[in-house]
Amino acid sequence: MGTYENSIDYLWKSFLNGDDKSFSLIYQHHTNALLEYGYKLCYDHELVHDSLQEIFIDLFLRRKKNRVTIKNLKSYLFVSLRNSLIKKMTNSRKFESLIDKKNTEINFNVEYSHQVNLINNEISKEVSEKLGKGITLLPSKQKEIIYLKFEEGMDYSEISNIMKISVESARKLMYRALLSLRKTLDPELFNIFILIFFKKKQIKMSMF
């Protein structure tokens, strides 16, 4: 992003001060990441798009009513999308097999063998598929926390807010996920996974 004038923080403050163009730029900045996350929560892409539109409309209307008190916008948007999809899917018989109504949890369904973001073009297709299969075999919550931490680069406070668990529980969940991966993958593959994560983290940090 380079300069402060182009940063999300600046755009957010401009939006709160009444600049509608900034709101459009905020939408453009976050929409791809939100859609990717939504698709992993729900296979019905139309429903995901509807939920995404609703949360941004609600955000816009809340500003108009002077009721916006959001400290972390990205976390807020992910939480809102997740809650919206859980509500819609819980109320629809179409998604009964994907929802644990007792715990109001979504079955996080991510096929990393078909992803190109986490597993980039610098490794072979064979290695990519093996890594993907290893992640896909993890329990739903472990897959989700790996996605939020590794793919979206979120910290544990953001993840705890989205997944509705404590920060300490988020750390323990990540530890269990990595432990499961280390048992599932051979040592070389596990090391490749960790190296990819740190490389992605360095790239994201260099953008700000």
How much is the pTM?
A: 0.69
Same domain, 208 and 122: yes
CB atoms < 10 A from the CB of 107, how many? Answer: 18
Same domain, 121 and 204: yes
Same domain, 77 and 179: no
Q: Domain count of the chain?
A: 2
Write down which residue in 88, 107, 126 finishes a domain: 107
pLDDT at 170: 94
- pLDDT by residue for the chain (208 residues), tens only, comes to 444 445 888 888 888 888 888 898 999 999 999 999 998 888 888 999 999 999 999 888 888 776 677 888 899 999 999 999 988 888 766 655 555 545 455 667 655 444 444 445 556 677 777 787 888 888 989 999 988 988 888 999 999 999 999 999 999 999 999 898 888 888 888 887 777 766 655 445 444 3
pLDDT at 206: 42
Structural domain harbouring 194: 113-208
Write down which residue in 107, 129, 155 finishes a domain: 107
Same domain, 34 and 96: yes
CATH of residue 137: 1.10.10.10
Q: Burial code of 45-82, b = ≥16 C-beta within 10 A, e = fewer?
A: eebbeebbeebbeebeeebeeeebeeeebbbbbbbbbb
Same domain, 143 and 63: no
Same domain, 20 and 72: yes
Write down which residue in 56, 76, 107 finishes a domain: 107
pLDDT at 124: 65
29: helix, strand or coil: helix
